Chain A
Amino acid sequence: MKDNPYIPIPVRLKRTEIESDDKTLRTLDFTLCDENQAFDFMPGQFCQLSILGKGEAPFGIASSPSEKGFLRFTVNRVGGVTTALHYLKEGAVIGMRGPLGNYYPVEKFKGQNLVIIGGGFAFTTLRSLVLYIFANRKHFNDITIIYGARRPGLLLYQNELTEWEKRDDIKLFLTIDEKVPGWDKKVGFVPVVIGEVAPKPKDTWAVVCGPPIMIKFTLLRLFELGFSAERIYTSLERRMKCGIGKCGRCNIGSKYVCVDGPVFSLAELQKLPEQY
């Protein structure tokens, strides 16, 4: 049974930390139990994390290929597997399958400008992308990051965001929905901030991840600014089981989110039925 795609490899929990102030989000760093095992991936790909006896669930890889020695996932506690992941103790060994799916087309982005737009906890694979770009900074031109959450405590990776703000080779805009004391950054929904920042569409690609309602109005705003559907990328989520295009549930039209995605250009999505 060599090369059986259903058998997870063992990974060990190296670090676990609450990520949001409402405690629903937790960041977990894993190391491969077999240190000699190669694990090559690209920003945007995902893994199936697997707790024996509970089951599997898919999560985008939040660490970057440029970060060595661990794989990071940020998990929203909603069901059986995610709750079990939240209760894992450091040192625990679980299963992992991956990397699965396609990735952000970083080759296309090279020599170009990039606008990275995130909302809420959909910033995981965007963190991977941002750190990949930082590690290969000279290959990319202007980088603009717009990231919003309902309130400050729901922004992911806050320590890193603070570090990023100090960089002079990116433009970072953080925003929250409503003003709170002590917040000196932007206030307003992500699409509104995009309008204020007004990134120029020339030689620029946009990557958008967030809740559907944010995506909807973000796209309208990007179109107004002159971005074409070919130059806007997003990453989709669907209920998944196999992760390898066979179990039949994550399709949108003829495309399977698990193998043809999760990263799609808006032009590709426009050819597919809107839901289903």
Chain B
Amino acid sequence: MQYKIEKNDISTLIDILASVYDLFGPVKTDGLTKLARIKSASNLDLESFNTDESAKDIFFPQYETIFNFKDGEIKNEFDKNRPIAIFGIRPCDAKSFLILNKAFNNGGVNDSYWNQRYTDAMIFAIGCNRPSQTCFCNWVNQGPFNKEGTDIFLIDLGDDFMVESCSSKGDDFLKNVSKITLQNPNPGDLDKVNQIKREAEILMSEKLDLAPLKSILDTQLLDSPLWNEISAKCLSCACCTYLCPTCHCFDIQDEKKPGTNQGSRVRMWDSCMFSLFTQEASGHNPRPTIASRMRQRIMHKFNYFVENFGEIACVGCGRCVRTCPVNLDIRGIIKRIKNEG
């Protein structure tokens, strides 16, 4: 069911959400946009394009305590007081949660830390009226108005938002929200939505069919000189994986206060692009070169993840393209691989 709400009502909506949820939304600080905790709509930034940082940090923090310890006793301090809501992420980031959810709950062992935050979260996503030049969500079975992974989906109509529930959680929310007027859209509004979608479609780069990619990677490219060529200018800096909304590799370390018996076991993002990632104590490293690590990154997203979970671990957000210091463009890599087929 689609409704229309006035943009003026957004601040009321944010107030309602902030009173119930631990609420996150896009904000701009120091010239960079990211998802941050918000209490009101005053610093909400819905105008900027997709945030510079992905939304994964909300459910899978860059650095988090697994447990604290003191004198040999383990104290599990994880304490989430309120469910999390996110307002205003883009469809690519919403989709990334579904991918991460698979990764964190595979093999019959569930990741308590991810699940504690994600399972009862409420996700409001906004469609992308003006996709950027670096967007390629249409390559990975996505699109600027894809509703996967969202509870409530919004489309910016200028003075109003079109609002649609995409889950039972979303249904309940809209049913019980009383301080906001949910208008029934008129035919003109629906025409406008179609017009917006058409214009966004035109701005997207031409769709590339990635279905053949897996078998090309699987059968022809395991030991190809291509990886040396592709990675020749890569610095192995790992910007791409840190900003990627689907990269989920992490490290676990102990941190102890000097001179005491207390500290924490923490987990933090790690990256397959770092040589230490797989470096073994013996000195052996199964992925000793940048080419071998680049191969792992591409293979994981477009081959291994497809093998294990039935879908590509890329949502086409373009952050790795925008941020790479040497202008390595994953779209170019994908095209190169496809040409090998």
Using a CB–CB cutoff of 8 Å, the interface residues on chain A facing chain B are 1, 3-8, 52-56, 78-79, 82, 93, 95, 237-239, 241-242, 244-254, 256, 259, 273, 275-276
Contacts and interface: CB of A to CB of B under 8 A. Distances in A.
A273 B78 CA distance: 39
A32 to B, nearest CB: 15
Interface in B255-286: 256, 261, 263, 265, 267, 270, 272, 277-282, 286
Closest 3 pairs between A and B when the two form their complex, measured CB to CB: A248-B249, A53-B256, A254-B304
Contact of A251 (B113, B248, B304): B304
A237 B106 CA distance: 21
Nearest to B255: A53
23 contacts: A1-B78, A3-B110, A3-B112, A7-B76, A52-B69, A52-B261, A52-B263, A53-B254, A53-B256, A54-B254, A238-B278, A239-B279, A241-B250, A241-B270, A245-B106, A245-B107, A247-B270, A248-B270, A249-B249, A249-B272, A251-B304, A275-B287, A276-B299
Given A52-B69, A55-B254, A241-B251, 10 more contacts: A4-B76, A6-B113, A239-B278, A242-B250, A242-B252, A246-B104, A251-B296, A252-B286, A259-B106, A273-B223
A3 B69 CA distance: 18
B3 interface: no
A248 B304 contact: no
A271 to B, nearest CB: 10
A276 B287 contact: yes
Contacts of B265: 6, 52, 55
Contacts of A239: 277-281
Contacts of A273: 222-223
A93 B72 contact: yes
Contacts of A4: 76, 112
Nearest to A78: B281
Interface of B: 66-67, 69, 72, 74, 76, 78, 103-104, 106-107, 109-113, 116, 222-223, 248-254, 256, 261, 263, 265, 267, 270, 272, 277-282, 286-287, 292, 295-296, 299-300, 303-304, 307-308
Nearest to A211: B282
Contact of B272 (A248, A253, A256): A248
Contact of B248 (A8, A95, A246): A246
Nearest to B282: A78
Nearest to B274: A249
B250 A248 contact: yes
Nearest to A57: B281
A269 to B, nearest CB: 13
B292 to A, nearest CB: 6
A238 B67 CA distance: 25
Contact of A7 (B74, B110, B111, B248): B74
Chain B binding surface SS class: mixed
Contacts of B281: 78-79, 82, 239
Chain A binding surface SS class: loop
B307 A254 contact: yes
Contacts of B272: 248-249
Contact of A241 (B74, B78, B107, B252): B252
Given A7-B67, A8-B74, A249-B270, A275 B286 contact: yes
A57 to B, nearest CB: 8
A56 to B, nearest CB: 7
A276 B295 contact: yes
Contact of A254 (B103, B113, B222, B308): B308
Contacts of A251: 296, 300, 304
A244 B67 contact: no
A246 B261 contact: no
A56 B69 CA distance: 14
A245 B109 contact: yes
Contacts of A54: 254
A251 to B, nearest CB: 7
A128 B333 CA distance: 47
Contacts of B279: 239
Nearest to B307: A254
